[in-house]
Amino acid sequence: MLFVICISIGILKIKHLRKFITATDPSDTSQFSRVIGWGNKHSSRRAISLAAILNRTYCALEDGFLRSIGLGVDGVQPLSLVVDEVGIYYDARKPSRLEQLITANADITKEAESRSRRCISAIREYRLSKYNQNQSDPQLRAAAPKIVVIDQTQGDASVEGAMANQETFIDMLRCAVESHPNETVWVKVHPDVVHGQKKGFLYPLPFEHPNVKLYAEPVNPWDFLETSTHVYTVSSLMGFEALMAGAQVHCFGMPFYAGWGLTYDQQRCERRNKSRTLEQIFDAAYIQYARYVDPILGERCEIEQIISYLSDQIAWQANAKTKVCLSSLSWWKRLWLDDYMRAWGFKLSASGSSIRWGRGEPDEEGFCIEDGFIRSVGLGVHFNRPVSLVCDRRGIYFDARVESDLEYALNHTKCSDWGQWRAQELITRLLSANLTKYNVGTDTVLDLPVGRKVILVPGQVESDASIRCGSLEVTTNEALLRAARDAEPDAYIIYKPHPDVVAGQRDQGKWQGDFTSLADHVEVEIAMAQLLEQVNEVHTMTSLTGFEALLRGKKVTTYGMPFYAGWGLTRDMMTCERRKRRHSLESLVYFTLINYPTYVDPLTRRLCSAEQAIERVRQMKCGSVEVKETKLRLLLMLKRVKHIAKC
C-alpha cells in the first residue's frame, strides 16, 4: 500500500493524485518513504523540513508540460505532473531527475526517437502548450512576428532557479534589439502583469526603443512560434516550444533545455557537458519525466493519449455557437442529447435551426444527427445511451445522394502522419477489444466447410433510410442474397439478419422469409465481431458491417454506396462521381471514427476521445464497469408492456 506524507491541502485536492505519485515499477520501494511537496518554492519549505526530521526523501511535484485546458488557479485539474525526488527541473542550481534523464539519454533507440518526432509533430499540428486556454489572434498571426522576447512574472521560481534576475531580462531585451536592428522586437508580456495582478520584469519597458512592441493578450503561444525565427527567453517553457517550432532560441537563464547544444546560452552549467538532440530532450522531459493520467478513465496513460484528448477538446471548443431547435426530436432522445450539445456549439432557441434525427429530404435545412459507428453495449431500440453521435451540417453519412461532412473531409482534407498513426492504433484497440457497433451476441465458433469461400451477407432494416438513400438497385435483403449468390455461386454464404429486426423492433420482426434458403446458414446468435473473424468476405448493400470487415482485413463487395465505398478499398457495384480520391484504411478510419463522430463517456457524461470511448465500451462489455440508467430502463419496461398489450 502506498504511504506518503503530504501536508499541503492544495496537493491533496489534485484528482487522481495516487495514480500520479505511484511508480509504475512495483519494485520501487523508495516511493513508500517520501514526503511530497510542491516544487522547491517557499510554500514547500515545511515539507522539506519535515522530510529531514523524519529522515525521509523529499519528493517535489510540479505541473507537467502538457498540463490542461485552462489554468490551475481556475481549479482546472492537471492531466500531467512531474515527480522528482532529486530536485526539480526548473532549478539549475542543483541536479534534478530530468537533468539526469537527459544526461543518460545518449543512446536513445530509433523507436524512441521516432516516437518523440511524432509527438513533436502532433504538438505543432494541434498547437498544444502547457495550458491550452488561449484563443488565436488573427491580427498577430498576420503580423508574423519574427523576433520574440518572453517576459516572465516576478516571483516565478523558475527565474531564480535559472540563476537570473531583473538585470538578466534587461540585458536580454537590449541584446535582442541590438542583434536585430531592422526588425520589430515583440515583447510577450504576461496578461496578468498588464492587469495589475502580477509584476513583470519588462513591463513597463526598462528603456524606450522604436522597434520594440509590447503584446499582452492571452494568446496561444503558437501565434508567435509559427513565424518566429529568434526567441529570447530566461527560463520560459515557451523557449522549448520554440525549439519544437524550429526557431533559434537564446537563453539568458538556465532552463532544463539549455546547456545541451541546442540553444545559444549566456550562462553555463558545468554538469551539462553533453550535446543532446531535440528528440532526446523531448523523450526525457515529456515522455520519461512527466506522468500522465487519463481524465476520463482515471488511469495512468502515455503522452499520446493526452495529445489526442487535448486536440479533440480544443477542436470542439472551436465550434461556432449556433442556435438550434429540438422540437423535431423525441423527448427521450433529448434526455441525453445535452451531453453532446456543448461539443457542437449548440444553444437552445425556439427560432434556431432545426435538428432532426436521421435524414429528411436533401434540400431540407438544419442539422442531421445519427448514431456513431461505435454506439453502445446493446441496441438503440432498447434505449441504450449512445457512446457516440454524428452531427452533420451538409447531409448525413449514409445518404449518397448529397455530400456529407464525412465525404467532404475525405474528398478535401489530407490525413496527417499523426492522424494515420492514431488511426492504426485505434484499429488495434478495436480488434483487441473485439468491438462493433452494438456489441451484442455470443462468441460461438461455427463449424464451417473446409476449402470453400465463406461469405457473410449482413441483413439490414429494409425500411431504413440508408437503403433508400444509398442503394438504388438492390433494396431488399432477398435481392442482396440473390446478388451475392449470383456473384459467388460456389461460396458458403452466411446470412445474419439485423438485430433490431430479430428483436421484433423493426420491419415487424419479419426476417424468416423463404428467401433465407438462398443462404447456406442463417445466424442470429453470434456477435458480429466474432462472426467477422470466421468469414473471408462480406457482401452488403450499405451495412456498417462492411466497414467493420475492412478493419479486419476482409474483402468487401458493396451493392449500394455506403460511406466507405468509392475510395479504392472495396469492390463497388455502384459508383459515385463525387468520390475521386483514394484512401488508405488508416486515413478512412481517421476521418470516420476520430474526426467525424462526437464521443461522450457514459459513466462521467463528459466529452471524450475515440480511444477513451472504446476502452469504456470494452469495460462495459466485459462487465468491469456498469452504467446505471434508471430512467432509460423504465422506458424500456414501458415499451415492452405496450408491445405485450398490443399482442
The answer, yes or no, to whether residue 507 has pLDDT greater than 60, is: no
3-state helix, strand, coil in the chain (%, to 5): 40, 15, 45
The answer, yes or no, to whether residue 199 has pLDDT greater than 50, is: yes
> pLDDT tens digits, residue range 394-436?
999 999 999 999 999 999 999 999 999 999 999 999 999 888 7
The answer, yes or no, to whether residue 51 has pLDDT greater than 60, is: yes
> pLDDT tens digits, residue range 608-622?
999 999 999 999 888
pLDDT score recorded for residue 73:
72
The answer, yes or no, to whether residue 647 has pLDDT greater than 60, is: no
* Cell numbers 456498417: residue: 544
Between residues 631 and 114, the one the model is more confident about:
114
- Each as own residue / partner, the long-range contacts of residues 6-10 (CB below 8 Å, 24 or more positions apart, any chain) are 6/35, 6/36, 6/37, 6/47, 7/35, 7/37, 7/46, 7/47, 7/50, 8/36, 8/37, 8/38, 8/43, 8/44, 8/47, 10/38
Give the Cα separation of 84 and 34 in Å (integer).
Answer: 11
DSSP reduced 3-state for 549: helix
pLDDT score recorded for residue 306:
98
Between residues 603 and 505, the one the model is more confident about:
603
Q: Around Cβ 501, how many Cβ atoms within 10 Å?
A: 22
> pLDDT tens digits, residue range 90-101?
999 999 999 999
Give the Cα separation of 458 and 598 in Å (integer).
Answer: 26
Yes or no: say if 500 and 381 are a contact pair by the CB < 8 Å rule.
yes
Residue 25's pLDDT band, with cuts at 50, 70 and 90, is low
What HEC string does 64-75 produce?
Answer: CCCCCCCCHHHC
pLDDT score recorded for residue 1:
44
pTM of the model as a whole: 0.92
> Where are the alpha helices (H) located in 29-86, listed in sequence order?
45-54
pLDDT score recorded for residue 31:
58
> pLDDT tens digits, residue range 335-346?
778 889 988 999
CA distances from 242 to 1, 59, 283, 603 (A): 42, 29, 16, 39
pLDDT score recorded for residue 194:
77
| β-sheet bridge partners, residue 392 | 368
pLDDT score recorded for residue 531:
94
The residues, ordered by sequence, that sit 6+ positions from 318 with a Cβ below 8 Å of its Cβ are: none
Separation of CA 3 from chain center: 33
φ, ψ at 202 (rounded to 5°) = -120, 15
Yes or no: say if 542 and 466 are a contact pair by the CB < 8 Å rule.
yes
What does DSSP say about strands 322-325 and 290-293: parallel, antiparallel, or unpaired? unpaired
pLDDT score recorded for residue 633:
56
pLDDT score recorded for residue 406:
98
Averaged pLDDT score across all residues of the chain: 90
- Render 492-511 in DSSP notation, one character per residue: EEEEE--HHHHTTSSGGG--
Q: What percent of the chain has pLDDT over 90?
A: 72
The answer, yes or no, to whether residue 300 has pLDDT greater than 50, is: yes
Give the Cα separation of 558 and 455 in Å (integer).
Answer: 13
The answer, yes or no, to whether residue 27 has pLDDT greater than 60, is: no
pLDDT score recorded for residue 634:
58
Nine-digit cell string for 52: 529531514
